[in-house]
Amino acid sequence: MKVKTVDKALQNKQKEVTIQAVKDKQLQVINLTLKRNHYRQDALIEILHKAQESSGYLDVEILGYIAHALKLPLSRVYGVATFYHLFSLKPSGKHTCVVCLGTACYVKGSDKVLAALQQELGIKCGETTSDNEVSLVSARCLGACGIAPAVVFDGEVAGKQTAENVLETIEHWKQKGAE
């Protein structure tokens, strides 16, 4: 195998490991909250809140996991998640950008990264651009503190991000969209 191919394979492997770490971290937070609340069905809102905090939004897979753990029908959990404005379901943009504002990332400047994205995209955190291209959300610790500040672009974790890096990715998305 060529060196370049090996490098690519290693990079992909590293990406998989990091994505898995983010998922594990979210499940860890959910499991802890479930336990702390003794799997009580009336703790649903708190559990949804913690789940959202750890990844920036809720997706159907996570709602299913919570429904199963609380022995509630998925329709009920989904209904609660869509009824309250403080919950956001998987963002509607073609691309999603999640900026981690957890402590490790924040001290390394993730607030500046978020500010640069908000300015470039002309939207606030939690919003989607009017052309439906990009949704911008934040999370509290993605479980990738070792590579802080971390940003997840379309499900792929990128570490050590700066305002310049993230704007390059946005530019790349724009160019791809225009092709």
Task: Quote the least distance from Cβ 109 to ligand FES, whole Å.
Answer: 11
**Contact residues: ligand FES, CB under 6 A:** 100, 102-105, 141-145, 148, 150
Using the minimum distance from each CB to ligand FES, give the nearer residue, 91 or 102. Answer: 102
CB nearer ligand FES, residue 134 or residue 150: 150
Nearer to ligand FES, 77 or 139 (CB): 139
Cβ burial 114-145 (10 Å sphere, 16+ → b, else e):
bebbeebbebebebbeeeeebbbbbbbbbbbb
Strands 134-139 and 95-100: parallel
Which CB atom, from 69 or from 163, has the smaller least distance to ligand FES?
Answer: 163
Place of tokens 């559990």: 47
CA 164 – CA 179 distance, rounded (Å): 23
Nearer to ligand FES, 53 or 133 (CB): 53
The sheet carrying 151-153 orders its strands as 134-139, 95-100, 151-153, 156-158
Round to whole Å and give the CA distance between 16 and 159.
13
Q: Which of 169, 154, 158, 161 is nearest to 90 (CA)?
A: 154
Closest residue to bound ligand FES by CB: 102
- How far apart are CB 118 and ligand FES at their closest, in Å? 18
Q: Minimum Å distance from CB 56 to ligand FES?
A: 11
Q: How far is the CB of 135 from ligand FES (least distance, A)?
A: 19
Smallest separation (angstroms) from ligand FES to the CB of 69: 24
